Amino acid sequence: MKNIDNTEPIDKNIKESKKKHKNKKKSLKTQNSPILYNISTPCHITASETIEKTYIHDVYSAIAGHFSATRQKPWPIVEKYLLNQPAGSLGLDVGCGNGRYLFLVQNIYLMGIDRCEALLQIANETGEAHLISGDARLLPVRPIFDFAISIAVIHHLTTETHRIDALRQLLNILRPGGTALIFVWALEQPNSRRGWNEYSPQDILVPWISYTKVKSRDKESKDEVVETKIHKRYYHLFRKGELEEYIEKAGGEVIESGYEHDNWWAEMKLRVNKIET
What band does 218 get if pLDDT is binned at 50, 70 and 90?
Answer: low
Residue 6 lies in a domain: no
- Does the global pTM surpass 0.85? no
Among 117-126, 135-144, 216-225, name the one with the lowest average pLDDT: 216-225
Q: What pLDDT, in 10s, does the model give residues 22-49?
A: 333 333 333 334 444 433 333 344 478 8
- Mean pLDDT, rounded, for 198-218: 81
Q: Looking at the predicted structure, is the pLDDT value of residue 155 above 70?
A: yes
120, 95 Cβ separation under 8 angstroms: no
Q: Looking at the predicted structure, is the pLDDT value of residue 10 above 50?
A: no
Residue 56 lies in a domain: yes
pLDDT at 44: 45
pLDDT at 205: 93
What band does 220 get if pLDDT is binned at 50, 70 and 90?
Answer: low
What is the domain extent for residue 131?
32-190+202-270
Total tally of structural domains belonging to the chain: 1
Mean pLDDT over each residue of the chain, to the nearest integer: 82
Enter the DSSP assignment of 201: -
Q: Looking at the predicted structure, is the pLDDT value of residue 118 above 80?
A: yes
- Mean pLDDT, rounded, for 126-133: 88
Percent of the chain with pLDDT over 70: 77
Residue 38 lies in a domain: yes
CATH of the domain at 95: 3.40.50.150
pLDDT at 6: 30
Q: What residues contact residue 154 under an 8 Å CB cut-off, 6+ apart?
A: 136, 163, 166, 167, 182, 184
Residue 150 lies in a domain: yes
Q: What residues contact residue 118 under an 8 Å CB cut-off, 6+ apart?
A: 60, 61, 64, 65
Please state whether beta strands 109-114 and 90-94 pair in parallel, antiparallel, or not at all (unpaired). parallel
Please tell me the distance from the alpha carbon of residue 186 to that of residue 240, in angstroms, as a whole number. Answer: 8
Q: Which amino acid, residue 138?
A: L
Q: What pLDDT, in 10s, does the model give residues 250-273?
A: 999 999 999 999 999 999 999 987
- Which one is predicted more confidently, 231 or 13? 231
Residue 83 lies in a domain: yes
pLDDT at 221: 63
Residue 276 lies in a domain: no
Q: What pLDDT, in 10s, does the model give residues 48-67?
A: 888 899 999 999 999 988 78
Task: State residue 251 phi and psi, 5-degree precision.
Answer: 95, 20
- The angle at the Cα of 224, spanning 222 to 225, to the nearest 5 degrees, equals 145
